[in-house]
Amino acid sequence: MSLHTPYDPQNIFARIIRGEAPCYKVYEDEDVLAFLDLYPQSPGHTLVIPRRSAAVNLLDLETGALCRLMTVAQRLTRALVEELQPEGVQLAQFNGAAAGQTVFHIHVHLVPRYAGQGLGIHAAQEADPDALQALQARLVRRIAASS
Ligand code: 5GP
C-alpha cells in the first residue's frame, strides 16, 4: 500500500467504527474512538482513530480532525500514565506500508513503556482476552474520571 492508496471502507478499523467488528473500546466521542490494540506491544497499548474521516494516513486527514485526534491522544496518555504508571509512553503513527502501516485508516498508537521491558513485536501476538477485558475496565473508569 502506497502513501496514495485509496481509502478502503472495508478496512478493520472502519468496520469497528460501524460496529461491524468488536473492539475493547476505552473511549469515544463524536469525532474520536479509542480501543486496545489486539496485538499489543506492551500492556495498555491503545489505538486512537478519527471516526468521521475516511483518511488512510496523515496526508489525507483534515487539520480539524487531526487536532481532535491529538487532543484526545493527550488526554488518554495522561489517563494511561495515571492508571498503569509506566515509566514512559511512546506515540507512533505510521504512513504507508514502507513505514510499517498495516491498517489503512489513520491511527495513533499510545504504547506505555515499562523500565526494563522491551517492546513487543509490532502486530504479532494476540493478547489474552481476559487481560484485555480487565485493562479495558480499568481504563474506562480512569478515562471517565479524567477531563
Ligand atoms: P499499523 O501497523 O497500521 O500502524 O497498526 C495497526 C495496529 O492495529 C497494529 O498494532 C495491530 O496490532 C492492530 N490491529 C490489527 N488488527 C486489529 C483488530 O482487529 N483489532 C484491534 N483492536 N487491533 C488490531
CATH at residue 33: 3.30.428.10
Check if 107 is active-site.
yes
Question: What local confidence, expressed as pLDDT, does residue 55 receive?
Answer: 98
The confidence score (pLDDT) of residue 1 equals: 78
Tell me which residues of the chain have a pLDDT lower than 70.
Answer: none
Is residue 88 included in any domain, yes or no?
yes
Give the model confidence (pLDDT) of 8-20 as tens digits: 999 999 999 999 9
pLDDT of 122: 86
Domain-embedded: residue 1: no
Report which DSSP code applies to 97. G
Residue 62 lies in domain: 12-145
**In total, how many domains does the chain have?**
1
Residue 6 lies in a domain: no
pTM over 0.85: yes
38 ligand 1 Cβ < 6 A: yes
- The answer to the question of residue 124 being in a domain is yes
Atom of ligand 1 nearest to the CA of 93: 4
What residue owns the CA closest to ligand 1's atom 19? Answer: 12
Question: What pLDDT is recorded for position 104?
Answer: 98
Kindly state whether residue 2 falls inside one of the protein's structural domains.
no
Q: In 61-88, which positions are buried (b, 16+ CB within 10 angstroms) versus exposed (e)?
A: beeebbebbeebbebbbebbbebbebee
Residue tagged 500492556 (cell numbers): 43
